[in-house]
Structure 1
Amino acid sequence: MPALPCDPAGATLSTAQRRFLVDARRAILATIDDRGWPRPVPICYVLLGEDRPVLWTPIDEKPKRVHDPMHLARIRDISSRPAVAVLVDRWSEDWSELAWLRLHGRARVLPQPAGDVLEALRDKYSQYREHRLEARPIIRIELERVTSWGRLA
């Protein structure tokens, strides 16, 4: 499989793109399975970093199909194919309000989140104050390409 082109300096976000991403409550993470099929899954996330933005998404305590979080399909996918896409969208019956933001990046699974990531997740999602995220893996996505459409602001 050929390598995807990437910007070694990472992606930059416009002010409107950053605000749209920070304000959104959920996104869709798409990994690639071992047959080359996309595997989309809804995620909660936070964005940290100004110069080199990084998206963080935890493997939280919501019910999963497997007991061991390291056996989740998205974790297996990232381990073999770290290229991922994240889609954040806003739907409205008023089509002048439609917008989406697509991020491409490289994902890595870390055994647990750092303190600043935990704090940011719990600030954004109060439900995480009841989750033991300290003992759970987290996905770190270094952004390499950003595409957006519509009325972000």
Structure 2
Amino acid sequence: MRLDESEAWRRFRAARVARLATTGADGAPHVVPVTFAVSPPAEPAAVVIAVDHKPKTTTNLRRLRNIAATGRASILTDEYDEDWPRLWWVRLDGRARVLTDDAGRAAPITWLVAKYAQYQDNPPQGPVIRIEADTITGWAYAE
């Protein structure tokens, strides 16, 4: 069954990991797992993702290049269970940009630190991706 917007946001906010999908100027898709946080309810609906201290082979990340090229991204959260009535997914599509200045990164880093204990002693130092929601859609199993 299709989820209403408030239920989709509830599930999205509670999720611990998501998949970020971008495309480059050439149209080639790129999907990576990410940690993320959602802006507080009083602010415009946005999702933030930071380049953090987890090991990476390069700092010239394709996801950042793709966002610079297209200004768009999708992010998907989901729950899989062998007990299929527990299945659900939520996808957010929106305008994306990369924030590199301290002022633009400050609030998003605070939201990420509040969500993930792993960031409390070592907050992300890299760029922040901010996705402003155009649409949020979701589905949950229904008998």
Instruction: State yes or no: 1:60 paired with 2:49.
Output: no
1:142 match: 132
* Equivalence map 1:1-150=2 (5 Å): 14-50=5-41, 52-66=44-58, 69=59, 71-111=60-100, 112=102, 113-133=104-124, 135-150=125-140
CA distance in 2, matches of 1:150, 1:36: 30
Structure 1 residue 30, shift from structure 2 partner: 0.3
Structure 1 residue 145, shift from structure 2 partner: 1.1
Structure 1 residue 33, shift from structure 2 partner: 2.3
Structure 1 residue 131, shift from structure 2 partner: 2.3
Q: TM-score, normalised by structure 1?
A: 0.81
Q: Which runs of 5+ in 2 are unaligned?
A: none
CA distance in 2, matches of 1:107, 1:131: 25
Asked if the contact 2:113/2:123 (under 8 Å) is kept, the reply is no
Which runs of structure 1 show a deviation greater than 6 angstroms over 4 or more consecutive aligned residues? none
Q: TM-score, normalised by structure 2?
A: 0.86
Asked if the contact 2:105/2:127 (under 8 Å) is kept, the reply is no
CA distance in 2, matches of 1:132, 1:98: 32
CA distance in 1, matches of 2:17, 2:107: 20
1:122-143 C-alpha deviation (Å, 9 max, x unpaired): 121111123242x421000000
Q: Which amino acid aligns with 2:82?
A: E
SS at match of 1:130: coil
